[in-house]
């Protein structure tokens, strides 16, 4: 690793879903003042970067991902003065703040779309994607929406269809029009001038579409469940020309000192790494790597995914890892509460920038909801598969204490989504006084990552552990060599590593046992246990770290 590192390389990113973090005014929805009230808690987690899901004015058809004004704050969340205070308070604590940028589509109520829709000869008509009906009538082609149905809605007023890959209330901007990107850059300028530390850019690979509007081919591997997956989306995502557009966004961002751009992308390695950029220009600092969030929880598979990703990263690229977000089932729901600690240790000890999701530090679970309580548009538009596509279960309110509404909102207030049934026991207050709780472990793990340069920026090398359900790897820098051991199974495992007879120092285990010396030749992992050990400088593995490994 270079001697010069940026805050986004060594730091831990924490995603906040503002609607669900803390309600301060009794309307049942989280807000900016609520986040400010909880900043000391966030600081206590040893995290470095807060990323906020959208807080812009919006009719909330997709809960803020339908933006009606890119340069303002939705009254639901507070005022611009509240935002300015939040930013100042975050910076005063030595943390950074990222905003969600949603440039692929706006709200149908955005002034740009209102103008575009008003007449075919309006100067902003071409800012959005309009097409005549197919020769026989109906949508211009077979493109589909992620949320079900065609990606086209007919506008009676002008006799054309407009495109939307999500809701009809989210029309797609046309980046082939020369005025669109400058308009979005101006919106970025507004927030960068305020001091925002960067952006997570929503669906960044979808900004350009096929100019010939060709039908997309059928997906031969479709399982017949989710309509969107019935096609291969070769004409609506990841077009080669999109990289030039992203380079222009990055070059603009780089006019401000040391700001960060993260791209949302669900792609295999070979395509994902292209979004770092090349000799033609820089692109995303961090194209989100979602491989672990979607993978079956199997040690051999996880090791292969990590090794394969490390192997294809360009020399200039910095890795990143994600295990939870607002679109995927919660970590503890996917892997189980016992394995959630192993997963947390994995996330915070791999080489690269980790992104955590609010509530995962206390082991929050998805909250099962009947259809009548769901609000997420994919579920409501596709009720037959609501349990597969609905995202409400992982967006429920933060569980702070055992009071009414778990401290998220005042007693008697109806929260925007129901709270978990276990909120009176699984909450921050209870876990803050339990030295063996998930929260205590999370804090210990983040503190260890901060304290150990080998974890924050050192080399990585995976090892054969001699057990099929154990993932072992080395992290090191010139001054230290650490061994990470993760038991993905429910059985006790004796390891078969190339270890000398020396002892190693146990720095942290998922069981929160006291630090102690362990024999390297007799290492045993308990079921669902992970360990971080410091190797003696004389061990053969320490010398291996010093001599190489992915950096």
Q: Please say whether the beta carbons of 361 and 21 come within 8 A.
A: no
Give the number of other Cβ atoms within 10 Å of residue 79's Cβ: 15
Is 361 an active-site residue?
Answer: no
φ, ψ of residue 328 to 5 degrees: the values are -120, 155
If 0-12 CB within 10 Å is exposed, 13-18 middle and 19+ buried, where does residue 70 land? Answer: buried
Which entry of 62, 264, 283, 361 is annotated as an active-site residue? Answer: 264
The SS3 call for residue 447 is helix
Instruction: Measure the CA–CA gap between 507 and 345, rounded to whole angstroms.
Output: 12
If 0-12 CB within 10 Å is exposed, 13-18 middle and 19+ buried, where does residue 503 land? Answer: middle
Sign of the dihedral defined by the CA atoms of residues 259, 64, 360, 84, in that order? positive
The SS3 call for residue 388 is helix
The SS3 call for residue 462 is strand
Give the number of other Cβ atoms within 10 Å of residue 90's Cβ: 22
Q: In what order do the strands lie in the sheet with 470-477?
A: 459-463, 470-477, 480-487, 530-534, 503-509, 517-519
Sign of the dihedral defined by the CA atoms of residues 72, 73, 79, 80, in that order? negative
For the record, the structure tokens of 259 come out as: 């700001």
Neighbour-count burial for 305-329, b at 16+ CB within 10 Å, e otherwise: bbeebbeebeeebbbbbbbbbbebe
Is 464 an active-site residue?
Answer: no
φ, ψ of residue 252 to 5 degrees: the values are -65, -45
Q: Please say whether the beta carbons of 277 and 242 come within 8 A.
A: no
Which entry of 23, 202, 216, 477 is annotated as an active-site residue? Answer: 202
Residues with catalytic function: 202, 264
């Amino acid at each position: 690793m270079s001697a010069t590192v940026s805050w986004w390389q060594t730091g831990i990113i924490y995603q906040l879903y503002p609607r669900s973090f803390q309600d301060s005014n009794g309307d049942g929805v989280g807000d900016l003042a609520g986040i400010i009230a909880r900043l000391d808690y966030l600081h206590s987690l040893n995290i470095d970067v807060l990323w906020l899901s959208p807080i812009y004015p919006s009719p909330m058809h997709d809960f803020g991902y339908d933006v009606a004004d890119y340069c303002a704050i939705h009254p639901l969340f507070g005022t611009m003065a509240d935002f300015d205070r939040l930013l100042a308070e975050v910076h005063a604590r030595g943390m950074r703040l990222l905003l969600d940028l949603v440039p692929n589509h706006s709200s149908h109520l955005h002034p740009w779309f209102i103008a575009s829709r008003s007449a075919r000869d309006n100067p902003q008509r071409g800012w959005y994607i309009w097409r005549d009906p197919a020769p026989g009538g109906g949508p211009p082609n077979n493109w589909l929406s992620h949320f079900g149905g065609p990606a086209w809605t007919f506008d009676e007023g002008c006799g054309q269809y407009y495109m939307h890959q999500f809701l009809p209330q989210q029309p797609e901007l046309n980046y082939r029009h020369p005025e669109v990107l400058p308009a979005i850059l101006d919106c970025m300028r507004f927030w960068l001038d305020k001091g925002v530390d960067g952006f997570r850019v929503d669906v960044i690979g979808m900004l350009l579409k096929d100019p010939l509007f060709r039908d997309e081919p059928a997906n031969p591997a479709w399982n017949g469940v989710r309509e969107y997956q019935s096609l291969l989306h070769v004409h609506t995502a990841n077009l080669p020309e999109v990289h030039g557009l992203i380079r222009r966004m990055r070059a603009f961002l780089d006019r401000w000192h040391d700001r960060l751009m993260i791209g949302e992308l669900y792609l295999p390695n070979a395509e994902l790494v292209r979004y770092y950029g090349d000799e033609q220009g820089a692109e995303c600092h961090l194209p989100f790597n979602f491989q672990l969030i979607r993978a079956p929880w199997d040690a051999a598979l996880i090791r292969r995914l990590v090794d394969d990703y490390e192997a294809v990263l360009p020399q200039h690229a910095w890795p990143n890892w994600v295990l939870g977000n607002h679109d995927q089932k919660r970590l503890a729901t996917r892997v189980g509460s016992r394995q959630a600690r192993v997963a947390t240790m994995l996330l915070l000890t791999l080489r690269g920038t980790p992104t955590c999701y609010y509530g995962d530090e206390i082991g929050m679970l998805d909250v099962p909801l009947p259809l009548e309580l769901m609000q997420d548009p994919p579920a409501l538009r596709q009720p037959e598969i609501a349990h597969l596509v609905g995202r409400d279960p992982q967006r429920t309110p933060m569980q702070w204490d055992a009071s009414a509404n778990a401290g998220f909102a005042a007693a008697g207030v109806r929260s925007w989504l129901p709270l978990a049934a276990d909120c009176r026991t699984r909450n921050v207050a209870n876990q803050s006084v339990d030295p063996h709780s998930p929260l205590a472990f999370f804090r210990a793990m983040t503190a260890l990552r901060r304290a150990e340069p080998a974890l924050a920026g050192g080399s990585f090398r995976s090892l054969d552990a001699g057990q099929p359900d154990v993932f072992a790897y080395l992290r090191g820098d010139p001054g230290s060599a650490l061994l990470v051991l993760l038991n993905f199974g429910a059985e006790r495992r004796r390891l078969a590593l190339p270890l000398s007879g020396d002892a190693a120092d146990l720095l942290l285990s998922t069981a929160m046992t006291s630090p102690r010396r362990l024999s390297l030749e007799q290492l045993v992992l308990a079921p669902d246990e992970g360990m971080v050990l410091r190797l003696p400088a004389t061990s053969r593995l320490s010398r291996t770290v010093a001599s190489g490994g992915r950096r």
